[in-house]
Amino acid sequence: MRDLRPACLAGNPSRYRARVATVETVSRIIAAFPEVTEGERFGNRTWSVRRKAFAWDRPFSKADVRRFGDEAPPPGPILAVRVADLAEKEAVLSAGGPAFFTIPHFDGYAAVLIQLDEVDETALREALVDAWLACAPASLAREYLGRDGAS
């Protein structure tokens, strides 16, 4: 008899898995924010608002990899995003799901890391909006938030 269950119940859960984010997804989302420039810092793609970096590609350094010890570092592209302060960082890490994490290098710094292979586009968009708002001048942030359709 033919199995009539949906593919996700019939042994093919990946068919319904949300598309994973990529650095190109990040770039597409960020393109909708006002006054963003894309550049390179320390050899990595970086997005800034009025010269203040709010998101950047963040591969692991050799020192980062050593700190993981026997545990393998998260695979795939990693994005760093700013948060408003350390309290927000803790809130994001508590509620953000497994795609959001930090490493010792970021201790005491208002930013989190996002494993792009594990984050869905909605959560990524929210993190990027929050990062942009954390770095944008107050007048520009107010203007953005007043627009129709702003997150």
pLDDT in tens, the chain (151 residues): 444 434 443 444 444 445 678 999 999 999 999 999 999 998 999 999 999 999 999 999 999 999 999 999 999 899 999 999 999 999 999 997 899 999 999 999 999 999 999 999 999 999 999 999 999 999 999 999 998 555 5
Collect contacts of 64-67 with beta carbons under 8 A, ≥24 apart: 64/103, 64/105, 67/103, 67/104, 67/105
The CATH number for 139's domain is 3.90.1150.30
The four Cα atoms 16, 22, 25, 27 give a dihedral, to 10 degrees, of 170
The model's pTM is 0.83
- Per the structure, the complete domain to which residue 72 belongs is given by 21-146
In a domain, 63, yes or no: yes
In a domain, 68, yes or no: yes
In a domain, 151, yes or no: no
- Total domain count for the chain? 1
In a domain, 99, yes or no: yes
In a domain, 110, yes or no: yes
Q: Give the separation between CA 60 and CA 120, rounded to whole angstroms.
A: 21
In a domain, 77, yes or no: yes
